[in-house]
Structure 1
Amino acid sequence: MSPDPSAPGALTAKQLAAEKARLIADALAEGFSVVRITGPDSIPLAPERLQSFLEDGHHGSMAWMAETAERRADPRVLWPDVRSVVMLGLNYGPEEDPRALLGEPDRGNISVYARNRDYHDIIKGKLKLLAGRLASRTGHEVKVFVDTAPVMEKPLGEASGLGWQGKHTNLVSREFGSWLFLGSIFTALELPVDAPERDHCGKCRACLDACPTNAFPTPYRIDARRCISYLTIENAGPIPREFRAAMGNRIYGCDDCLAACPWNKFAKASSEMKLKARPEFEAPRLGDLAALDDPAFRALFSGSPVKRIGRDRFVRNVLVAIGNSGDASLLPAVRTLLGDPAAIVRGAAVWALSRLAPDAFSSARIEAIAREDDEAVKDEWRALGPAIG
């Protein structure tokens, strides 16, 4: 066959090195903190490790992980034409340790990553700009991915030299600690690759010991079903009773294992891409959050990843935090939500009432069970008190 005159020509080693340098400079100018490059064949152990994770059920209700396992485990299955994977990291390190807010039980603790605009939107827009320029300069096709696609960004980040997967399974960087958003550009251009990063965790287990729900069965392995981030975000049903007290005031995600990492001492608070936290998300009052109806919830969390879980699931989380607060002044909010249209909210309100006002809970149980039409909510009333005859 005669060559396709529209196909991009081969670049010399010198041209590829120059293109890599230009890409990195471009990415840093757009606000990314670090850029490294790896090949699509750089994570050969990923398929086996992913399969073991899935077989153990550690993905919980995240069925999409199993459905996309083949594509997730091998970039070449996701896109056969990929020749290089450009991994980019954006520092979102907080100005203060987010665990300090755990000592203020009347306030809600929202994970650091969700205290501003949705990072998917911020990063994807920047990646599209970078990838578009790369494709325009070289004539080679590109694709961009940020978390929502079946890409194993953390193993690829380790293979590229961005950092290493710590014992908490998140990427750790010597420059930015555990605070990096990750994104990737797949390109059909075969760029020079960087050396992988080695594991620098040593004997440290600070992240494992910090987990309030013991979500790590072994180092480097997480059971999502026990993780507060999973429970408050991915989990659509009631928070399992065994984990409610341990949640404290964490109402969206959990930063404990990230914040405990000693490598964070090298990370500086982020100023890139205007990722400073919105003040109203730094320490919101639980009473104010419990009063949110759907329109108010959507307005407050417009542009935030919190919006994706919906008002009902969010207020469920808030009620668990209220139950842990010991603050009787929040009882009126709890009593109001006992009559909420959403069963998942009513059930969480039952638990909060049992914690804040045990006597009121006991006296209301029989009548409440009789008028309740949702079996899961009835079960909350039954399970949280003595057996009913």
Structure 2
Amino acid sequence: MKIQLSVILLVLSAAVWGCDNEANLLSNNRPGPENNDNNPPDNNPDNNTTGMLNNTTGMTNNTTGPNNPTTNNISPNNETDPEIYDEDPGADTRDLTGDIPAFAGTGPVEQFAYDMMVAACERWVSCDGERDAFLVSLSHGISSVGDCVEWSLARNPLDGFSRAVAEEKAQFLPDDAPLCATRIAEHSCDDLERLLDSPRAVVQACQDAYFGLTGLDGICASNAECTAELKCSKAFVSGCSGVCQDSTKLEVLCGATLEPCAPNQYCAGGTTCTDILGEGEACETFDECGPDGFCRAGVCAPKKYGFQAGQSCNLFSNICALGLNCDVDAGDGVQGTCAEYRGAGEPCASEFDCNYQTFCSNDGMCEPKVDTGSCDTPAECLSGVCTTEGQCLSSSQACAIPPEGL
């Protein structure tokens, strides 16, 4: 029940692209006890229509399927307790900076890559209170800039950037590098997932300073080698090799003509783009009120963001502050208490309960991710890469392509 309703919480997002980052694609689907499948070819992260964040998109746009539930079966008249809804968030006095890992690379190329990751993580925290910032925290289990940088470095070995330049698989223009961090700080809060995944893919100044030279379907060892609009997917190849593939944002399509709806619309019944209702307008389903509203007693009402640890929360209206998870009570499966993400050895009932260093196992415990060793899913690996041989690809260093290639 907790897993199902944790997913319902993700109706906050109208369309979030869930690719992973500079090291690999969407390898952090964060499977929980009921979603711990292996990585078969028909579950390609590059085309994952059943992944967590793509489930969000499907739910918001009323697309149904075995892993794509909608919220329309929930009565809009009793989904929240008015007393909880009327409560106000407490003052946020937490340190959202945390302990930022020190630069441990060498040379200007690796310094540039490190600075780019730090700038992207700082931009994420600066968007505190925005829907996309909350979703990034929830999907990756991160609570501070320090968490975010450590999570990024595990998937983006710094020597991958310098090696790509040394092997003439990428170019670095140091004179253009300082502008990258500046432009990241100005980037919209509406595209934070992609910004953390690959700043070069969304910030032109970062592309201008560092650009890979490997094109579509070319063999790669990391995203650093691919042109900015591509990513190095290593989901189904052995060892360190991958293939540069398209990383453009997925469109959410609606209706028989399969066209995207406008930002202020939702896909009614999976067939028709329909305008989202405003606050106070009569409603029958959650989708009608848009990603920042919910249907309360037959009327669209706004969600409240920013509830602190120990405060009551629910999955429809009272949304926990950045870096906190709504620990839903087992009783009604709707209301709970805002709490920190759980660490190794602590129980979990959802893929969202565990922090970025752990994953929720089939036994319902947060277990540490490993740098190297056996794995069944990418979520078990620090790097986010579980090879076809069932081994975690080390996050501690970039890999050279084996002589035999793919």
> Which one has a larger percent helix, Structure 1 or Structure 2?
1
Relative contact order (alpha carbons < 8 A, sep ≥ 6): 1 or 2 greater?
Answer: 2
The TM-score with structure 2 as length reference comes to 0.22
Give the number of the structure whose alpha-carbon radius of gyration is greater.
1
The TM-score with structure 1 as length reference comes to 0.23
> Which one has a larger percent strand, Structure 1 or Structure 2?
2
